[in-house]
Structure 1
Amino acid sequence: MVDSLLLIFMIIGILGIGSQWIAWKFQLPAIVVMSIAGLLAGPIFGIINPEQEFGDLYRPFISIAVAIILFEGSLNLKFKEVKGLGKPVFRIITWGAFLSWILGSLTAHYVAGLSWAVAFVIGGIFIVTGPTVILPLLRQSKLKPVPSKILKWEGIVVDPFGALLAVFAFEIIVFLSSDSRDASALLLFFLASLFAVVLGYIFGKVIGWMFESGHIPEYLKSPSMFGAVIACFTIADEVKHETGLLAVTAMGMTLANIGISSIKDMRHFKENISILLTSTVFILLTSSLTMDTLKDVFRPEIIIYVLLMLFIVRPLSIFVSTIGTGLSLQEKTLVGWIAPRGIVALTVASYFASVLEDEGFEGASLVTSLTFALVFATVCVHGFSIGWLARKLNLSSEGKPGAIIVGSNRFSVSLAKVMEELNIPVMVVDSSWDRLNRARRAGINHTYGEILSEQMEYSIDFTPYDYLISATEYDSYNALVCSTFIPEFGRKSVYRLSRQNRSGDQLDDLNHTIGGQEVFSPAEGIEDLKYKLKAGYVLRKTTLTSQYKLETYLRDKHDETVLLFVLKQSKQIEFFTDDRETTATAGDTIVSLTPPSKEFSKIKEKLENKKAGS
C-alpha cells in the first residue's frame, strides 16, 4: 500500500480524470469506469485506502465535495424549464419518493433480512439518484426534453430529501425505541430542516444582491460563491446532520431563479470543479471499501433485493405517482427504469452504517454492502441501457449529429437545405422576422429569437445539435456567438465564416482564441458566398467510391470550388477548414459549392451522349 499522502492524491487524480477520459473516448458511463478503477486500486490490489490514510479528514472532505456538486446541479433548476412539466415533476419528487421509500423499506426487511429500523433508514437513502450519476447519463444519452428534464429535476431535488428521510426515519426509530420518549428530538429535526431551507434562501438572496450591486469584484465572485456554499452547508449541518444538503440545494435554486447575470458566467467554471470533485469522490469511496464488503454483495438476499429494486420498486412507484399527469407510456417506462444511485447514497449510507451498528440494530453491518451493490448495479445497468431503451421507445434525439446555423441569408438557407436533404438535423436561428422569411419559404426548420439571450435556453432543444455555425453579416457578432457557445459544444464544433474583406467589421487583430474556427476551404466571408450563389454556383453532393477516391475528387474539382463538409458513413460530420486536413473514404459524401461552369459542362456532356445514342 502507498504510504505517501502526496502519492495517494496523485493516484486518485489520475484514476478519476483518466476514468472520465476513457468514458468519453469509448462512449461508456463514466460512473462505471470510475467505480471499477476505484475497486482495482482499493480492495482488489490494495494500492490505496483513502479512509484509513486520510483519517478524520476523510468524511468532512467528502461531505463538502457532495455539497458543492449538489449546489452546482441545483443552479440548473430553473422553474421556466419545467413549464408544462410541473405536475409530473411534483408528483415524482413527492408521492413517487414516498412510495419508493415505503416499498424499498418493505423489500429491505422481508427480502434482505434487515430489521425494521435499519430497513426504513436505508429505504430513505435509496430514493435518491443525484446529479453525479444522472447528469452524465443525460449528456451521453441525448434524451428528448420531457424525460430528460424530469430525470434531472428528480435527481437534484430528491437528493437532499433522501438524506433527510433517512435522518427522519432514524429519529423516529430512536424515539420509538427509547424508554423515555421525548418528542423534542422530532420537533428539533423539523425545525432544523426548515432552518436549512430558510438559510439557503437567505444565502442565495444575499450573494445575488452582492454580485449585482457590485459589492464583490468579478475576480472574487467564484471564490466567494464557493466560500458561501461551504459556509451555508456547514452551518446547517452543524445544527442537524444531513440538513446541509437541503440548505445548499435551496441556495442554488434561489440563485438560479432570481436572474443574476454573473451565474451564467461562472457556471462553466463550477461545472469543471464539479466534474473534478465527482471523479475524486467516487474513487475515494470505492477504493475505501473492504473485501468483506465486496463478498457480501454476492449474498443471495442482497442480489434478490437489488433485482426487486430495479424491476419492481422503481417502476411501480413511478407508474403509480404519475397517473393522470399526461406522461405517455413510453415516458413513464423510461423514467421508471432509470434511477442510478451515486455519491449521496454511498456517503449517507456509510455514515448511518456506523451509527446504526453502534446503536446495536440488527442488520446494520450489511448497510454498506447493500448500498454498494445497488449503486454499482444501477450505474452499470442503467448506464449501458439508457441509450438503447430511449431509442426503442423513440425518446432519443440520437441520429446524425445536427447543426445550428445562426443567421438567415441566401447561403445559410441553401446550406441548411442540403443538410435536410441528407437527413441531418438543422435549425436556422435569427432575431429578424424579415431575414427568417427566406428560411420559412424554403421550409427549413427555424427559430425566431436572439441566440445569445437566456430565453433561447428554453425555446430551443439543443440536444440534437452537435455543431454551431455563425454565418451572419457581422464578424464581431459571429465571434461573440462562437465564444459564448464554446463551453456548450466544444471548441472543435463551433465555427464562424471567414472575416470579410469588402464589408463588415475589420478584425484583423482578433485574437485567435476568440470565436470559433474559420469554416470551409478556402475560407470565405458571407458576402463572397452569397455573391457566388447569385452568380449561379450550386451546392453539390458527391459520394466517394472505392474507384473515385478523395484524391481523385480533389484533383478533378474546379479551382473555384468551396469545400463545405463531409458526411461520413458513421453519420459524423467533418467540416472543411484551411488549418485542418479533412479525411474521407468510400461511402462518404462531400458537399461543396461548385462553379456553374461544371454544371454547364455536365449538361452539355449529357446532351452530346444523348445525341450520339440517337
Structure 2
Amino acid sequence: MSGAASLIGAVVLVVSLGVAAQLVADWLQIPSVAFLLVAGVFVGPQALGLVDPAIFGQAGLQAIVGLSVGIIVFEGAFHLTVERVREASREALGLVTIGAFVSVVGTAVAVNVVFGTTWPVAVLVGSLLIATGPTVITPIMQVVPVRDRVAAALETEGIINDVTAAILAVATFEFVIASQSSPVVVVEAFVARLAVGVLVGVAVGGGIALLLQRLKLSADNATQNARVMVLTAALLAYALGSMWLLEAGIAAAAVAGIVLGNADIPHEDEIADFKGGITLFVLSFVFIVLAAQLSLGDLRALGIGGLVIVIVVVALVRPLGVFLSTLGGRLTVRERMFVGAMGPRGIVPASVATLFAIELRPENPEAATVLVGTVFLVIFATVMFQGGLARHFAQALDILPMQTLIVGAGRVGRELATRYESRGEEVALIDSDEDTVERVRADGHRVVHGDATNANVLEEAGANRASVVVAATADDDVNLLVAQLATTRFDVDTVVARANQPDNLEAFEDLDVETISAGFAVADAIDDAVERPALAHWLSDSGRTGDVLEVELGNESLVDRTIEETAKKLPDGCLVAMVSRNGTDRVPDSDFRLASGDHLTLVCETNEAMQDARRLCQGD
C-alpha cells in the first residue's frame, strides 16, 4: 500500500473510531476521553497495529497536535464569559492560584519520593497535571446538574489551568533540557510566554471582533463567513504565539477566545455551535493518535509506584488544594468535597507529555518513561473513575438541586424564583425582553434571554433536566405552548401554568397540567385573609421564615412508624400536617403508621429545618 493510501486509511480509521467513541460516551453519559484513549491504545502499534503515529512524521504530529490543542483551548475560552466567571469568581481565583500551587508542589514531591527522579523532572510532571481542562470537565457538567457556582468554578479552573500547565511545563522542560543551574529560568520563561500570549490573543481576538462588527457581510453567507473568521482567529492566534515563543500559542488562543466570547459579535450562537462541532472532531482525532503513541511498557515500568502516584494525586493533593483555595467562599462543605473529587485531566497534559517524551527519550529514557507513564496513568484513572462516577458522587453528597424552570421574569416569576432559591433549589428563568433579563440578572438570578416557545431555548435553560416547569407569563398563548412543550417534548414531572383569562382554563386543562387562574387565585387569597388571617399571614411569609413541604416517603427506617415516633426524628420546628395515600388525604393522629410511598405534608418553621426534613424523609 502506498504512503498516501496508508495515511488516508489511518485518518479515516481514526475519525471513524472518534465518532463511535463519541456516540458511546453520549449514550453512557461519560466523558468521551475515556473511550478515545482506549480506542487509541487498541489500534496503536502496541495492540492491533492499525494506526502508527509515525506515519505523520514528528514535525507533522507536532503541528497537528498543536493546532488541534489551540482550537480546543480557544473553544473552551470562547464560553468563558464575564457573567460566567462572576458566578464563582472567588472560588475560581483560588483554584487557579492556591489550588494550582498545591497541585504542582504535592505532585512533584510524590513523584520525587516514589520514583527518585530529579526535582526538575518531578516539577515537570506536576506542572502538566495542573490541567483539568474543559474537554473533560464540560461533558461531566452536562450530565451532572450541580449548581451554577460549582460548574462555573470547575469550568473556569479547567480553561485557565490548561494555559498555566502548558506554559509552566514548557518553561520547566527548558530547564530540564538545558540543565540550567538556576530555576529563575523557569519563572522568566513562564512570564515571557504568558505576556506574549496575552499580547497576541488580545490583538487577534480584538481585531477579528472589530471586523465582525464592522464588515457588512452578504446576507446569504454572513453566518458561514463569521464562523470561518472565528476559526481563523483560533488558528492565527495559536500560530503567531507559537512562532514568537514555543507554546505561547496556547495562551494566545485562550486569550483570543475570551476576547471574542465577551465581545458583542453577530451570529454568536451559530459560531458557538460550529466551533463545538469542530472541537469535537479534532479532540477525537488527537486523543486517539496520542493514545496510539503510548507505550504500554511505560505504564508497566511504573509498577506499584504509578498507582501510589494516582492515589496521592486524586485522594490527597486535589482535595487539599480545593479545601485551601475555597476557604471563605460561597461553596458549601459538600460542594467543596465534590470539587475536590473532580479533577480529570485532559488533552493538554496528554499532548504536551507525549511530545516532550519524544524529545527527552534519547538522552534520558527513565525521565521520559516517568513523564509520559505518570501523566497518562493519571488521565486514565481520573477520566474513568471521576468522570464515570461524577453523578454518583454528587448524589451521595446531596448537591444536585431541584431544577425549576420559570418562564416569564416578571413580578410573578421573580417572586417565585426568590422563594425557590431561598429553599436551596436551582432556578432558571426565561424571558424575551432584554431589559428585563438584564435587570433580573443584576438581582442575582440565572436568566436565559430568548423565546420560551422555542424548544431550543427551553433546552438551553435546562428543561431536559427540570423537575418543575412554571409558565408564568402574562400571555396565555405563550403559557399554553410552553406547558405543551414541557409535557410532550421534555417529559417534565410537574408543569404549572398561569391562566390570565378564565376563558382559557379549559384549554389548559386539556393538557392535563396544573393551572392557576390569576383571577381565582386573588379571590382565594382575599378569602383566606378574611376567614383564616393567621394562616394567610404565615403563608405570605413562606419562603422567608418557613414553608410547607410535600415529600414522598422514601426512608425505609420511617416506614411502619407512628406519627409520634416520626416526630421525634424530625428537625425541631417541623410537624406532619397531612398524609396522602392512594389518592386519599387525611390529618393523621399520633398512632397513624406511615407506609412506603406516602406523600407527607410537613409544616416547617425555617427553611433549614425544611431541607433537613426533606433529606430525612427521602432517605438521603
Q: Name the counterpart of 1:383.
A: 387
Of residues 500, 505, 522, the one that matches 1:533 is: 505
1:429 matched to 2:407? The reply is: yes
Q: Is residue 153 from structure 1 mapped to residue 153 from structure 2 by the alignment?
A: no
Separation in 1, partners of 2:428, 2:329: 29
Q: For 2:324, which of 310, 320, 332 is the aligned residue?
A: 320
Whether the 8 Å contact between 1:34 and 1:279 is mirrored in structure 2 is yes
Give the CA deviation at 1:330: 1.0
Does structure 1 residue 394 correspond to structure 2 residue 375? no
Partner residue of 1:523? none
1:49 maps to which residue?
A: 51
Question: Over residues 202-228 of structure 1, what are the superposed CA-to-partner deviations in whole Å (9 max), with x where a residue is unaligned?
Answer: 111111111111255523111121122
Question: Offset at 1:461?
Answer: 5.2
| Selected match of 1:300 from 301, 304, 316 | 304
State TM-score, norm by structure 1: 0.69
Give the secondary-structure state (helix, strand or coil) at the position aligned to 2:44. helix
For 1:484 and 1:536, how far apart are their aligned partners in 2? 22
Residue identity opposite 1:12 in structure 2: V
Range moving further from structure 2, 218-227 or 36-45: 36-45
Note if contact 2:87-2:149 (Cα within 8 Å) is conserved in structure 1.
no
Distance across 2 between alignment mates of 1:438 and 1:91: 33
Q: Superposition pairs for residues 346-385 of structure 1, below 5 Å? A: 346-360=350-364, 363-385=367-389
| Aligned-residue offset at 1:431 | 5.1
SS of aligned partner of 2:23:
helix
- Cα distance, 1:314 vs. partner? 1.0
Q: Name the CA distance, whole Å, in 2 between partners of 1:90 and 1:182.
A: 25
Aligned twin of 1:262? 267
Q: Is the 8 A contact 1:113 1:301 kept in 2?
A: no
- Aligned positions of 1:452-463 closer than 5 A: 453=434, 455=438
Quick check: 1:172–1:186 contact (8 Å CA) kept in 2? no
The alpha carbon displacement at 1:275 in A equals 1.4
Q: 2:51 corresponds to which letter in structure 1?
A: N
Q: Aligned partners of 1:223 and 1:536: how far apart in 2?
A: 46
Counterpart check, 1:65 vs 2:43 = no
Q: In the alignment, residue 44 of structure 2 is paired with which amino acid?
A: G
Query: Is this contact kept in 2: 1:201–1:250, CA < 8 A?
Result: yes
Tell me if 1:141 matches 2:144: yes
Q: 1:117 to 1:359 in 2, by over 3 A?
A: farther
Q: How does 1:393-412 map to 2 (within 5 A)?
A: 393-397=397-401
Q: Which amino acid aligns with 1:27?
A: Q
2:171–2:186 Cα contact (<8 Å) kept: no
1:345 pairs with 2:345: no
Q: Give the structure 1 partner of residue 213 of structure 2.
A: 212
Report the CA distance shift for 1:358/1:237 in structure 2 as closer, same or farther (over 3 A): farther
Match of 1:8, as an amino acid? A
TM-score with structure 2 length normalisation?
Answer: 0.68
Native 8 Å contact 1:66 1:344 kept in 2: yes
The one-letter amino acid of 2:291's match is T
| Count of paired positions | 480
Structure 1 residues 266 and 540: CA distance shift in structure 2, 3 A = closer
Aligned ranges 1:61-100 → 2 under 5 Å? 61-83=64-86, 85-100=88-103
Does structure 2 conserve the Cα–Cα contact (< 8 Å) formed by 1:75 and 1:253? Answer: yes
Which amino acid in 2 is paired with 1:110? V
**1:255-278 deviation line (CA, Å, top 9, x unaligned):** 222333432331111111111222
Going from structure 1 to structure 2, the CA distance change for 1:323 and 1:50 (only over 3 Å counts) comes to same
Superposed, which structure 2 residues align to 1:169-208 within 5 Å? 169-173=172-176, 177=180, 187=188, 190-208=191-209
Structure 1 alignment gaps of length 5 or more: 400-424, 471-476, 494-502, 506-514, 521-525, 543-588, 590-614
Query: 2:290 matched to which residue of 1?
Result: 285
Offset at 1:358?
4.4
Which of 319, 337, 341 matches 1:333? Answer: 337
3-state SS of 2:407 partner: strand
Check conservation: 1:430, 1:447, Cα contact below 8 A: no
How far has the Cα of 1:359 moved from its partner? 4.8
Letter in 2 for 1:137: I
Instruction: Flag the 1:436–1:294 CA change in 2: closer, same or farther, 3 A.
Output: closer
C-alpha separation in 1, matches of 2:389 and 2:370: 28
In 2, the alpha carbon distance for the partners of 1:517 and 1:328 equals 31
Counterpart in the other structure of 1:229? 234
> Helix, strand or coil for the counterpart of 1:260?
coil
Are positions 1:24 and 2:34 aligned together?
no
1:49 Cα offset (Å): 2.6
Deviations 1:78-116 (A, max 9, x none): 122232522221111011101111111111111133221
Secondary structure of 2:390's aligned partner: helix
Q: Measured at CA, do residues 443 and 391 of structure 1 come closer, stay the same or move farther in structure 2, by a change above 3 Å?
A: closer
**Corresponding residue of 1:40:** 42
Query: Given residue 231 of structure 1, which amino acid in structure 2 is its aligned partner?
Result: L
The whole-number CA distance in structure 1 between the counterparts of 2:296 and 2:75 is 34
- Per-residue deviation, 1:62: 1.4
Deviation of the 1:332 alpha carbon:
1.6
Q: Give the partner amino acid of 1:428.
A: I
Secondary structure of the residue aligned to 1:147 is helix
Change in 2 beyond 3 A, CA 1:486/1:261 = farther
Comparing 166-175 and 310-319, the one that deviates more: 166-175
Is this contact kept in 2: 1:117–1:361, CA < 8 A? no
Q: Percent identity?
A: 24
Cα distance between partner residues in 2 of 1:132 and 1:164 = 18
SS in 2 for 1:111: helix
Residues in 2 aligned to 1:150 and 1:529: alpha-carbon distance in whole angstroms: 44
Matches of 2:24 and 2:503, distance apart in 1: 46
How far apart, CA to CA, are the structure 2 residues paired with 1:154 and 1:132? 12
Q: Is the 1:340–1:379 contact (alpha carbons within 8 Å) kept by the matching residues of 2?
A: yes
Residues 429 and 461 in structure 2, CA contact (< 8 A), matched pair in contact too: no
Give how far 1:334 is off.
1.1
Secondary structure (helix, strand or coil) at the match of 2:405 reads strand
Q: CA deviation at 1:519?
A: 5.6
Give unpaired runs (5+ residues) of structure 2. Answer: 467-475, 479-483, 490-497, 515-581, 583-620
CA distance in 2, matches of 1:278, 1:140: 19
CA–CA distance in structure 2, aligned partners of residues 211 and 26 of structure 1: 39
Instruction: Provide closer, same or farther for how the CA distance between residues 538 and 100 of structure 1 changes in structure 2, counting only shifts above 3 A.
Output: same
Aligned letter for 1:309?
V
Residue 186 (structure 1) shift: 6.3
Offset at residue 366 of structure 1 (A): 2.4
1:129 counterpart = 2:138: no
Report if aligned partners of 1:429, 1:451 keep a CA contact under 8 Å in 2: no
